[in-house]
A and B are shown apart, each in its own frame.
Chain A
Amino acid sequence: MTNGLSNISIALDLLEFGIFFVILTLIVKPVGKYIAAVYTGKRTFLSPLISPVEKWIYRLTGIDANQEMNWKEYTLSMLLFNFIGFIALFLILIFQGSLPLNPEHFKGFSLSLAFNTAISFITNTNWQAYSGESMASYFTQMAGFAVQNFLSAATGMAILMALIRGISRKNTKAIGNFWSDITKGTLYILLPLSIIAAVFFVSQGVIQNFNSYKTIDFLQPIVTQSGTVTHQILPMGPVASQEAIKLLGTNGGGFFGANSAHPYENPNPLTNFIEAFLIILIPASLTYTFGKMVGDTRQGWAIYIVMLSILIIFLGVQYYSQIRGDPLITNMGVSGPYMEGMESRFGVGGTVLFSTVTTGVACGAVNASMDSLTPIGGMSSMLLILLSEVAFGGIGSGLYTMLAFVIIAVFIAGLMIGRTPEYMGKKIEVKEMWMAVITALTSGIVILIFTSIALVTKSGTSAILNPGAHGLSEILYAFASTANNNGSAFAGLSANTLFYNLTTGFAMLIGRYIPAIAILVMSGSLAEKKYTPPNAGTLPTHKPAFMVWLFAIVIIVGALTFFAALAMGPVVENLIMWGGI
């Protein structure tokens, strides 16, 4: 295609990608090390500041942070804590109209929308069937949504820590203290990083205030069919504080409907780069944390390399597809990059980088309209989600899901070479395999079942915006995104209906808690096992051969599950677009 981007633009875009991943690789170790220190109770440079607060919290609540839990206690605590969060957010949404900090006098959410939205935020999904600037008050945004952005992220990390302890400990039932993990994750990791990021965002133009919306006269009044319009109303609000945790906690729920495409959320190319970076920062660093905590950092790097490879491959696919553009448009005498749904200031490179990272990492913030991506570009993002969010996946959840794939890979390899499968000195037995398979396959099953239901019901298909094959993609994407707790959308789908609020609500619940519980069961089981030192027959899980094997397992499971659905959606649309069938 001659009409797309110039070669210089392409070279600079590739440079942007390259610099992004080099910086990431350099920062994984220091951040990962810090996180490991936090969760193992070591002193860090922030301890003098935060430790008194932490101790004060334990004293006030009467929690003994040194009292460790078995997997049942840990799971119960996690579920209760998330349930309290659900109730609190649900009530805030319902009674929004009577709560303070509501200068635009927004009404309460409908029951089904409040149910869907509350689940969405406690499960770290941030699927948004509402539009922020026209439905959510400042109170709802900061005391409702942002609170869960912190707590659902801390929950994800806590579950991962429990699994890591299960792997690294032996002959014990104890897998950590959930209260301590939640408190530490919030105070030592999420909050300090959020403060730095939020202040930076304000300096760049992300707004942070409690003003009422601002009326601005247009420089030039415009004439529309319904008369002359002389002004626009600019929404305001405490955006920067929410923006920071939205990204760091891999939540993704935008303050405004346009999410990170909105200039008040993402004002320039630098903030765009930093936003994408904040999304991936903690999930990537956790691979090093894992290696550090199990006493073999090579194990963490092996997983990092596999995750990064998956992400970069799909980055390439999406970028290639986007610069090829839409022939239907170029054939009309239009030149330049295909920019429908994309912001000028980010360009194709900045858009694709963000779109790939936000879907590979289960964040779901978007800086473009995903629905308007080219068929293969959109499919690339969808596949990153469909592979169960393992490159790098949601905060905590991405790595624990990948570790389930590691267990599966070790097990299958063990069967093939006729050895007892072991991972990190622990025998992999029936129980571990069951839990690993449940973790890896739950979302796939949920997606296929719910998508099928939606496709054969009127309430499912009537919400479609784009007809034909693209409509199938919209529905498939909705359930892929919710069941894997991503939260981004092919937003043409009118999702605020009773049908979608309930189905996506349950998809998010099942997709979050079934794997989470399975991981905690596995953690308890692994912790109780004795340590078997590696011998000549042990499969080394840090070598390139195993990385390739793990990569193949992830791709094969994902591809086999969704091949048919993808063939009927984006693949067909791509053929229609280029071949005119």
Chain B
Amino acid sequence: MIKQLKASILIFVILFVIVGFLYPLLITVIGNVFFPWQANGSIIYKGNEPIGSELIGQPFSNPGLFWSRPSSTAEFPYNALDSGGSNLGPTNKMLIDRVENRIKILRNSGITGSIPSELVLGSGSNLDPDINLESALVQIPRISKVTHIPENVLRNLVFEHLNGRTFGFMGARVINVLELNLALMNLEKVYGR
């Protein structure tokens, strides 16, 4: 028993050092030498100012910008210190009420046809940086009206930013909302207001 206890402690301490310190340090060094941008959060800069992470979504309510998926993180939407889904089940009244509210806002913004699900349903992280194609297209008339950028120009912009399935079959076709909006703001400069 004493012999085994001693062995337990010694083996634990050695493996603790190897997998608990040497291993993460090794990965940190390799990561920061070869992939420093990715290892530090895929931050997009405008000049010297960080304006967001390519991977972490941001909320938009300006009618002249593309809106992200709804987010129900604590205190404010896209609060990155509170990742995680709403956890509301499919028959929960709270979910139905939330969706109803979101539909109302979208209807007020001028959408008349059916509403793409991703604009009314929250994501698993509630930090989703993307929306699908339908969710972007349906917002074009509103944005065009506010920014006076022609709809076909906006359509082209959306398709330029559409990421297809990886290798043609993995995941889904999505658009990064932050990048799309940055490109849109550049266009606005061209078209003026």
**Of the 9-residue stretches B94-102, B144-152, B153-161, which lies at the interface with chain A?**
B94-102
Q: How far is the CA of A496 from the CA of B97 in the complex (A)?
A: 27
Interface string of B15-56 (1 = CB under 8 A from A): 110111101101110111011001111110000011111111
A269–B172 contact, CB under 8 A? yes
**Of the 9-residue stretches A112-120, A195-203, A511-519, A557-565, which lies at the interface with chain B?**
A195-203
Query: A61-B14, A268-B171, A346-B172 known; A208 and B39 CB under 8 Å?
Result: yes
Interface string of B79-113 (1 = CB under 8 A from A): 11111111111111101100110010000000000
Query: A340-B121, A346-B172, A577-B90 known; A150 and B134 CB under 8 Å?
Result: no
B38–A335 contact, CB under 8 A? no
Other-chain contact of B99, A218, A329, A366 (Cβ < 8 Å) = A329
Q: How far is the CA of A73 from the CA of B161 in the complex (A)?
A: 61
Task: Specify which chain A residues have a CB less than 8 angstroms from the CB of B116 in the assembled complex.
Answer: 334-336
Q: How far is the CA of A340 from the CA of B1 in the complex (A)?
A: 53
B4–A80 contact, CB under 8 A? yes
Q: Which of B120-160 contact A (CB under 8 A)?
A: 120-132, 134-135
The count of residues in chain B whose C-beta lies closer than 8 Å to any C-beta of chain A is 104
Residue of B nearest to A491 (CB): B87
Q: How far is the CB of A236 from chain B (nearest CB, A)?
A: 7
Query: A143-B21, A466-B92 known; A214 and B43 CB under 8 Å?
Result: yes
Determine whether A209 belongs to the interface, using a CB cutoff of 8 Å to chain B. Answer: yes
Other-chain contact of A222, B76, B89, B122, B134 (Cβ < 8 Å) = B76
Determine whether A536 belongs to the interface, using a CB cutoff of 8 Å to chain B. Answer: no
- The number of A-B residue pairs with CB atoms under 8 Å apart is 393
Residue of B nearest to A223 (CB): B61
Q: Which of A262-290 contact B (CB under 8 A)?
A: 262-264, 267-270, 272-273
Q: How far is the CA of A199 from the CA of B130 in the complex (A)?
A: 25
Determine whether A70 belongs to the interface, using a CB cutoff of 8 Å to chain B. Answer: no
Interface string of B147-190 (1 = CB under 8 A from A): 00000000000000000011111111010001001100000000
Interface string of A221-247 (1 = CB under 8 A from B): 011101001001111101011100100
Interface string of A41-75 (1 = CB under 8 A from B): 00000000000000001001111000000000100
B117–A367 contact, CB under 8 A? no
Residue of B nearest to A273 (CB): B170
B83–A257 contact, CB under 8 A? yes
A85–B12 contact, CB under 8 A? yes
Q: How far is the CA of A194 from the CA of B20 in the complex (A)?
A: 13
Query: A84-B8, A263-B125 known; A198 and B27 CB under 8 Å?
Result: yes
Q: How far is the CA of A143 from the CA of B23 in the complex (A)?
A: 10
Determine whether A573 belongs to the interface, using a CB cutoff of 8 Å to chain B. Answer: yes
Q: Which of A294-308 contact B (CB under 8 A)?
A: none
A205–B38 contact, CB under 8 A? yes
A372–B76 contact, CB under 8 A? no
Q: How far is the CB of B124 from chain A (nearest CB, A)?
A: 3
Task: Specify which chain A residues have a CB less than 8 angstroms from the CB of B39 in the assembled complex.
Answer: 202, 207-209, 240
Task: Specify which chain B residues have a CB less than 8 angstroms from the CB of A186 in the assembled complex.
Answer: 15, 18-19
Other-chain contact of A240, B27, B83, B165, B181 (Cβ < 8 Å) = B27
Residue of A nearest to B167 (CB): A270
B125–A261 contact, CB under 8 A? yes
Q: How far is the CA of A452 from the CA of B91 in the complex (A)?
A: 23
B124–A345 contact, CB under 8 A? no
Other-chain contact of B83, A133, A195, A206, A342 (Cβ < 8 Å) = A133
Q: How far is the CA of A328 from the CA of B182 in the complex (A)?
A: 36
Task: Specify which chain B residues have a CB less than 8 angstroms from the CB of A171 in the assembled complex.
Answer: none
Query: A219-B178, A232-B78, A263-B55 known; A16 and B169 CB under 8 Å?
Result: yes
Determine whether A90 belongs to the interface, using a CB cutoff of 8 Å to chain B. Answer: no
* Given contact pairs A216-B53, A218-B59, A340-B122, a sample of 7 additional A-B residue pairs in the complex whose CB atoms are under 8 Å apart: A61-B10, A76-B4, A216-B52, A263-B53, A329-B95, A371-B85, A473-B89
Those 6 A-B pairs whose CB atoms lie nearest each other, nearest first? A269-B171, A369-B85, A347-B172, A261-B124, A492-B87, A258-B83
The 17 sampled A-B contact pairs (Cβ below 8 Å) are A9-B172, A77-B4, A143-B20, A199-B31, A205-B38, A207-B38, A209-B40, A219-B58, A262-B127, A263-B125, A264-B55, A333-B103, A338-B117, A344-B123, A372-B85, A372-B86, A372-B88
A: residues with CB less than 8 A from B are 3, 9, 12, 15-16, 19, 57, 60-63, 73, 76-77, 80-81, 83-85, 88, 131, 133-134, 142-144, 146-147, 150-151, 179, 182-183, 186-187, 190-191, 194-195, 198-199, 202-211, 213-214, 216-220, 222-224, 226, 229, 232-236, 238, 240-242, 245, 256-258, 261-264, 267-270, 272-273, 326, 328-329, 332-351, 366-369, 371-375, 465-468, 470, 473, 490-492, 573, 576-577
